[in-house]
Each structure stands twice: as structure tokens, then as C-alpha cells.
Structure 1
Amino acid sequence: MPPAVYVLGSSIFVLGTTEFMIAGLLPTIANDLDVSIPDAGLLISAFAIGMTVGAPVMAVATLRLPRKATLLAASAVFLAGHVVAALAPNYQVLMGARVVTAVATGAFWAVAAVVSVRISPPGTTARALAVLVGGLTLSNVLGVPAGTWVGQQLGWRAAFWAVAALTVVTALAVVALVPRAAGAAIAPPRVRDELRVFRGRRIWLALATTATFQAAMFAAFSYFAPLLTDVAGVDEADVPLVLALFGLGSFIGITIGGRVADRGLFLNIFGSLVTLAVAMSVLALVSGSTAGAVVAVFAVGVAGFSIAPGLNARVFVVAGDAPTLASSVNTSAFNVGNTLGPWIGGAAISAGWGYVAPVWLAAGLALAALGLAVAAWAHERRHERALTADLEPVGGPAVACPAPPVACDA
């Protein structure tokens, strides 16, 4: 991988940290700004909605701008949003800063994915995207706990200042190491070409698989803490260690998945979804055992995140020469799953089904995503056969041309 890919992965680490670290700061923010915990929790939802809507909108708005300039502009807006958040005098200003920051995050992610793929060697698309997703995973393992700790020790505003400082560092790295013409297309991209991708079923099947998979992950992951303490008997103080183990499994899964996906996208997608459904089922069955639950949580991390490179690379294959908008909409699909998953899991708990129910629902959603992936594979086979038929001359297959000097018009 070129150094620039790792620079972009580091930037995603910073962006991912700000998305999730606020969960550990909700009581402090609610108390300081005199709002309820549920109202403070809307700051997380606002970020997800901002990314869902903002990523494709900004992808279209910046389509004809140089890629590197777009990355730096998104970083500047992201930085400004954190400065405003750190100085926010009230809840409304903080909410506005979160939405603006989310839009910048979506724009950066979409362009970073295109740049990473285009500057990487042939045959390494999934591995390049795995570096970006790896940055997001590390943000959950390292960035979120660190941000929460800084906020608890120095106040929630200090956490935003810390992320702002890291943004300056990664932006300078982008200036130094990302090539000026990184990700540039041969011809200037056009919105019409980018929208043409969405006329067929291939892209919609890919996006539906992404959203359903992500809903499966977050339906269970959102309620791992009460599952571990109330069902598995894990001490509350040890829950962060178990979640760190989950994060380690996620990083291992991404690394393996990127290499498998470069050998076969559907091999990666099918294998990951089957393994995820099995791992979720095992977690549900052994959730009453402390050791069993801890091992199963690790396995869910490996299985779940191993699919991320394949899902992202699949969109690039479908989009062809017009990947920017498709990549941004795939980011939105992930955030749709982030929104629906916790709601589905929470509805099961509210219905009185217990903390194990979201895990069973997650297994079912993983199988639903597998069904969508199988449908996408079957449609892809038909698509390939149609292309082959279009390339054959009228009247039958191509005729082999004899060796020179015999003339041949076949």
C-alpha cells in the first residue's frame, strides 16, 4: 500500500473517534448544557443522519473539484466544527456543529475511498479499503476510550479540542503525502454518469446488503454491555476490556477479509455472513457463561468486520468509472444500518424478550443479508452472460482466425 493510503486511514481514525466518543460523555454534556440524557443522545443520531444525507450531497457538490483539495476542504470544515463544538454556549449550537461535522465526515470518507483505490496497485482494491475501515475500527478500540477518558478528566470540551488537534496533524499529513492528482479520472466526472449507476439492480442489491448487514451488527453490539453484565455475569468494570477484545477481533477480521476479498468478493461476503450468523447464534446460546460469552464476542468481531472490505469493494466494481457518488451512498447505507439496528434490538428488549433477543435478531438479519448477497450474485451471473452475448458476432461465436498470411475478417 502507498503511504498515502495509511494517511487516509489515520484520518478516518480521527473522524470515527468523534462519531462515537460522545456516547461516553453524555452525562457530562447533559449536566453542563442543562438537557436530559435522551436529548444529549440525539447528538449521536444527528451525526448519523448528517452522514447519511450529507455524504451523497457533498459527493455531487464536489464532484468536479480536485480530490486532494476536496479532502483538505472537508478536513477544514471538520476542524471548524470541532472548534465550534468545543466553544458551544448551548445545546443548539453543539447540535448544529455535530451535523456540519458529520457532513464533512461523509464527504471525506467518500473521496478518501476513491483516492485509496486509484492510487493502490492493481488487485488490491479490497485491501486498500480495509485500511480505511481499519482506521474506523481502531477509533472504536483506541480513540473512543481515549476521548471518553479525556472528557471525564478535563471536561467534555477538552475531548473536542483533542480531536481538533489530531485533525490538524492528519491534514498536514494529507498535504505532504497524498499526491496532487490522487484519484483523478481520465475525463472530468459528470453527475449524469454518476447517477447512471443507480438505474440498475446491481447497485441497489449491494446497498441493501450493506444496510442489512450493518443493522445486524448494531442490533447486537448496541446492547453488548447489559448482555455481558446481566446475562453473562461479567463485572461492570471488565466490560471495556471485553469490548476492546471485540475491537481486536474486528481489526483481525478486516485484515483477513481484505486479502480474501481481493481473491473473490462474493467468497468474502458469503463466508463472512455465514460465519457471522453462526457466531451470533453461538453467542446467544452460551450467553449465560462468562468465558463462553467473552470468546463469542471476540468471534463476532472477527466475523462481522471481515466483510467490510468486500462490501465496499463491491460498490466500486458495480460503479465502474463513476464511483464517487456510489461510494458516498454506500456510506449512507452503513449509517442506515447504524440507525435501524439499535432500534430493532431496543424494540425486542422493550417487548420483554430480554437482552439475548437482539443477538438472535442479529443472526436473522445476517441470514437476510446473505439472501440479498445470493440474489446479487445470481444477478451478477446474468449480467456477465448478457455482456458475453453482446460481444459475440451476429450468427454465433467468434471464428478463430488462421495463421498469416491467410486473410481473415472473422
Structure 2
Amino acid sequence: MSVPLLALFLTAFAFGTAEFVIAGLLPEVALGLDVSVPVAGYLISGYAIGIAVLGPLLTLATKRFNRKTTVVVLGALFAVGQALCAIAPNFELLMAARVFVSALHGAFFGMAFVISTGLVPPERRGFAVALVLSGLTVSNVIGVPLGTAIGQLFDWRATFWAVGALGLIASIVIAVFLPKTAGSESTHSSFAREFKALGRQQVYLGLAIATLVMLAQYAVFTYIAPLYLEVTRLEEEMVPIMLLIYGVGATIGVFLGGRLADWNLGKSIVLVLAGQVLLFGSLYFVAPYPLAMGITTFIWGGVNFAFGSPLQSRMLLWANDAPNLTSSLIPTGFNVGIAVGAILSANLLEQGMGYHNLPWVGTVVITIALLLAIISVVWEAKSTNRPPTGDADTIIVAH
């Protein structure tokens, strides 16, 4: 495995930790900035909106720049952004720093996919992309629990300093070892073909399902720390352990989703979403019981991350002749869902709903996503249309 690929993985890990670790630190951040926990939850929404909107714009603005130079600069600016988060004196400036970092996040992953596939032979391009993507998953398993523990042991600001240092180290490794010409080759489909692919129901309904699934997940996960503390009544030091349990389940779910995708794309999407409906509902009933909550958290993490591979694979199969626009919109759909989920729960909490009832929000939204998936699969089965043919080397599964 090449050092540049490992550096890209490490940078992806840093970005993933920066995005998700705030969920484990919300009570501390809220206390430190003298805001309510629901208001602090907007830090997750702001980051997600930045990825969805500013990331693609930054990618377009830098498309003529040398890819190596751009990625190194993004890594350095990421470290600066984390430092700004660490020293932010109030909520508004912390939000501004988070949005700044999120724009870098969105641009980095678009470039990292292209660069990673150019570092390996054609037959290993899937592995290269998977390695970059695994940085996000591993950040949930290791980065989020470790970052939460650092924040609780020292101070929540220490977490931002640590993540920023990690990003800076990764960017230095990229600067030293990444070839100057990495990512210089690219292929471009016509805009007409790209937009035509979006008109296929497997693609646009897939985007709707992706948005709804992430909305459901982050309507609950945004406030998972106070849920554990106030409803499950865990000690504060148990929160990182529960997040680790969730992350281990998520990692297993990623591989399970890949196996299900190889089995049957449509049926696996329906099966995973049905499992999510059951798990979200179960969270409400087991929340007051620590052992049951731990077991359910593990399974919940698994089913949450199992849906990605089947859904994305199906969407890109049906956009095989023009995958660029579709693959770039998938993370946009994910992050719009994250932002809306966090905002929705914040509003419901401010109206007095209570953390214990948040799983019902996820249950309702996931049920809608399941119904859309069933409609899409049945529609496809009754149609005579077949997936288009295209260059398999251009297919990238995004997250």
C-alpha cells in the first residue's frame, strides 16, 4: 500500500472526525459557549450544509489548479480551520469556523477520489476509492470516541487542536510523497448526458431516499450524547464507549452492505431500510436500560451504514453512462439530510419534545424512505428499461 494513499486515508479520517466528533461533545460545547444543547446542535447542520453547497463550488473554483498543490493547501487550511474552532470565543465564530472547514471537506473528497484512482493500476481503482472512503467509517470507530474522550479528559477545545494537528501531518506527508502529476487526468461527460441520467427514477428516487435516511439518522444521532446521559442515565465516561460500540457496528455494516449489494441491489435496499425501521423504533423502548441500549446501539450502527453500498451502487449502475453529476450529488443528498435532521430535532427539542422521543422522528422518516424504495423496486421490475452501458472505470461510489 503506497504512502500517498495512506496520507489520503489519514486526511479523510481527520475530516470525518472533524464532522462527527461534535455529536459526542455537544453538552460540553454548549456549556462552554453558554448556549443550549439544541442550539449547539446547529454546529452539525452548518457543517453539513457547507459540504453540500460550498464543497462543490470550491471544487469548481479550483478545477484548473494542480491537484497535488490544491490538496496540500486544503490540508493546511483544514489545520487552520480547526485552530479557529479551538479558539472561538462564542457560538457564532465557532459556527463560522466549522462552515469554513466544511467547504474544504467537500472539495477534498471530490479531488481525493480522482487522485487515488491515478495512484494505482486500473484493476485496483475500486480499492483505492474504498480506502479513502474508509477514512470516514474509521473516523466513527476510532476518531469520534477518541476525540470525545480527549474533550472530556481535557477540554472540548483540545479535541479541535488534536484533529487539526492530524490534518496538518497528513498534508505534509501528501506534500512529500504525492507525485506532482497526480490527478491531472480526468474525463468529462456532456452536461446533457449528466442531467439525462438524473431523470431515471432509480437515480432521483435514490437521492430522495439518501436524504431521508440521513435525516432520520441525524435527527437522533445529533443528540445521542444527551440521550445516553439523560435517558439511559449513563456516566459521562461511558459516552465514548457507546460511540465506539456504534462505530464497530457501523464498520461491520459497511462490509455487510457490500455483500448485500453483490446479492441483489433492490431487495437489499428494502431489507436494510426495513431493519432500520425496527431499530429506530426499538431505541425508544430500550433507551432506559443500559445493557439493552448498548446492544441496540451496536445493531443500529450496523444497519445505518449497511444501506450506503446497495443504494449508491444501484444509483451509479443506472447512471453508468454519465456518473459524474450523480456521484457528486450523492454526498450533497447525504449532508442535506444531516442538516435537516439536526435542525428538525433542535426545533422539536426547543418545543419540549424530550430526547427520549427522538427515535420516533427517525422511525417515521425511515418508513417514508422504505415506501419510496418499495415503489422504486416495483417500478423497475415492471419496466422494460435496462441500465445503460458505460465505462466502468469512471464509476466512483461516493459518501
What is the TM-score when the length of structure 2 is the normalising length? 0.78
Local SS of the residue matching 1:54 = helix
Matching residue of 1:61: 61
Deviation of 1:206 (Å): 1.5
Answer with 267-276 or 201-210: which moved more. 267-276
Local SS of the residue matching 1:13 = helix
Verify the 8 A CA contact 1:107 1:328 in the aligned structure 2: no
Q: Please list every run of 5 or more consecutive structure 2 residues that lacks an aligned counterpart in the other structure.
A: 389-399
Matching residue of 1:273: 273
Matching residue of 1:167: 167
Matching residue of 2:251: 251
CA deviations on 1:254-286 (whole Å, 9 max, x unpaired) are 122233324443344223212222222333344
Verify the 8 A CA contact 2:318 2:387 in the aligned structure 1: no
Q: Which amino acid aligns with 1:313?
A: S
CA deviations on 1:37-75 (whole Å, 9 max, x unpaired) are 566554433222211211232343345656555534433
CA deviations on 1:106-160 (whole Å, 9 max, x unpaired) are 11123334555675866985x7665444322332332234334445566555433
1: CA distance between counterparts of 2:63 and 2:381?
31
1: CA distance between counterparts of 2:13 and 2:358?
28
Structure 1 residues 107 and 311, CA gap change in structure 2 (3 angstroms)? farther
2: CA distance between counterparts of 1:183 and 1:310?
30
2: CA distance between counterparts of 1:256 and 1:58?
34
Percent sequence identity is 34
1: CA distance between counterparts of 2:287 and 2:22?
28
Verify the 8 A CA contact 1:130 1:308 in the aligned structure 2: no
Structure 1 residues 290 and 145, CA gap change in structure 2 (3 angstroms)? closer
Verify the 8 A CA contact 1:277 1:363 in the aligned structure 2: yes
1: CA distance between counterparts of 2:381 and 2:301?
31
1: CA distance between counterparts of 2:75 and 2:383?
39
1: CA distance between counterparts of 2:271 and 2:11?
29
CA deviations on 1:219-275 (whole Å, 9 max, x unpaired) are 232344444455445445433322221111111111222333244433442232122
Verify the 8 A CA contact 1:211 1:333 in the aligned structure 2: yes
Q: Which amino acid aligns with 1:48?
A: A
Local SS of the residue matching 2:171 = helix
1: CA distance between counterparts of 2:313 and 2:179?
21
Q: Give the total of aligned pairs.
A: 385
Structure 1 residues 95 and 294, CA gap change in structure 2 (3 angstroms)? closer
CA deviations on 1:312-353 (whole Å, 9 max, x unpaired) are 334433443544443332212111221222344455556666
CA deviations on 1:349-380 (whole Å, 9 max, x unpaired) are 56666544322332332232222223333454
Q: Who wins on radius of gyration, i.e. which is larger? A: 1
Matching residue of 2:309: 309
Structure 1 residues 357 and 368, CA gap change in structure 2 (3 angstroms)? same
2: CA distance between counterparts of 1:344 and 1:59?
29
Verify the 8 A CA contact 1:63 1:324 in the aligned structure 2: no
Q: Which amino acid aligns with 1:258?
A: G
Residues 324-403 of structure 1: matches in 2 within 5 Å?
324-346=324-346, 355-381=355-381, 385=385
1: CA distance between counterparts of 2:192 and 2:124?
28
CA deviations on 1:287-315 (whole Å, 9 max, x unpaired) are 44432222111111111111122333344
2: CA distance between counterparts of 1:242 and 1:387?
41
1: CA distance between counterparts of 2:73 and 2:114?
16
Local SS of the residue matching 1:385 = coil
Matching residue of 2:185: 184
Verify the 8 A CA contact 2:273 2:307 in the aligned structure 1: yes
1: CA distance between counterparts of 2:291 and 2:313?
35
Verify the 8 A CA contact 1:2 1:120 in the aligned structure 2: no
Matching residue of 1:295: 295
Verify the 8 A CA contact 1:114 1:323 in the aligned structure 2: no
Structure 1 residues 172 and 247, CA gap change in structure 2 (3 angstroms)? same
2: CA distance between counterparts of 1:236 and 1:309?
34
Q: CA RMSD of the aligned region, Å?
A: 3.8
Verify the 8 A CA contact 1:60 1:191 in the aligned structure 2: no
Structure 1 residues 366 and 184, CA gap change in structure 2 (3 angstroms)? farther
CA deviations on 1:175-212 (whole Å, 9 max, x unpaired) are 52579444833x45565654454344443211111111
Q: Please list every run of 5 or more consecutive structure 1 residues that lacks an aligned counterpart in the other structure.
A: 389-410
Structure 1 residues 363 and 157, CA gap change in structure 2 (3 angstroms)? closer
1: CA distance between counterparts of 2:321 and 2:63?
13
Deviation of 1:14 (Å): 0.2
Structure 1 residues 227 and 117, CA gap change in structure 2 (3 angstroms)? same
Structure 1 residues 122 and 236, CA gap change in structure 2 (3 angstroms)? same
2: CA distance between counterparts of 1:205 and 1:331?
15
Verify the 8 A CA contact 1:110 1:331 in the aligned structure 2: no
Matching residue of 1:50: 50
2: CA distance between counterparts of 1:264 and 1:120?
28
